[in-house]
Amino acid sequence: MDPRERFPKPPFPKQQQAPPGSSRELKPPADYGETTYTGHGRLEGRVALISGADSGIGRAVALCYAKEGAEILFAHLKEEKEDADETIRLVEGASRHAVAIPGDIRRREFCQKLVDQTISHFGRLDILVNNAAYQRTYEKLGDIPEEEFDATFRTNVYGTFFLTQAALPRMQPGGVVINTCSIETFTPEPSLAPYAATKAALASLTKSTAKLAMEEKGVRVNGVAPGPV
């Protein structure tokens, strides 16, 4: 098959959603790999904790890992329960277990709870995916409210730091932490100034924690930098 014809392509219908938005209202619907990704058992016996897996990249990662044999625990916002339920359905459709925990990763105690719940449900933690993120666009720098700048950093940077800090002591050598950075780290859009700054911070945080985690625990830390999806 011609790869250019495999998936929907622009132009797409104009559509607008109030934040945080819902994957159920996307037109055309997103492809999370339900029928287009085939697993090969690469993660049999592993357990993954993923933040923000109710939709988007996080849901695709959860389904991919499930198809590879991993059990999944993921975090989501309380108002996104319906999307979270769909992620559970997809993971269970791949014959894996899924546990969804609602809450706010900006709070250190919630991040610790996520790690504790993962160990409680599955007895181990092998993979941490720091994926949840907050993003808003502004055409003028002066229009960005202080509370929104703070929320972006608290979600994207603090949440990643808190989860990594809580998870590392519970992980065994050979474990892995994966941070969702962004192409915005390297080519930031002016309208995404706070978001791009957090992703640049995550790239730096990934490099420093990679050295510490490998020396202290034998855990690998990597970042991925997706473009538009």
The string of DSSP codes covering 167-226 is HGGGPPTT-EEEEE--GGGTS--GGGHHHHHHHHHHHHHHHHHHHHHHHHH--EEEEE--
- The reply to whether 195 belongs to the active site is yes
Averaged over 72-83, what is the pLDDT?
96
Answer whether CATH 3.40.50.720 is correct for domain 38-224: yes
- Report in angstroms the alpha-carbon separations of 75 from 11, 30, 147, 213: 33, 20, 23, 23
CA 44 – CA 47 distance, rounded (Å): 9
Burial of 193 (0-12, 13-18, 19+ CB in 10 A): middle
Residue 60's pLDDT band, with cuts at 50, 70 and 90, is very high
Q: What is the mean pLDDT of residues 205-216?
A: 96
* pLDDT tops 70 at residue 209: yes
Per DSSP, 103 falls in state S
Bridge partners (DSSP) listed for residue 33? none
What SS3 state is found at 120?
A: helix
Q: Please tell me the predicted confidence (pLDDT) of residue 227.
A: 80
User: Does residue 122 have a pLDDT over 80?
Assistant: yes
Closest-CA residue to 115 (of 69, 56, 75, 55) = 75
| 8: pLDDT strictly greater than 70 | yes
- Give the tens place of pLDDT for each residue, 154-183: 999 999 999 999 999 999 999 999 999 999
Query: Could you tell me which residue, 104 or 28, shows the higher pLDDT?
Result: 104
Residues with Cβ within 8 Å of 5's Cβ and at least 6 positions away in sequence, in order, are: none
Q: How far, in whole angstroms, is CA 143 from its chain's centroid?
A: 28
pLDDT reported for residue 229: 54
* C-alpha span between 158 and 154 (Å, rounded): 5
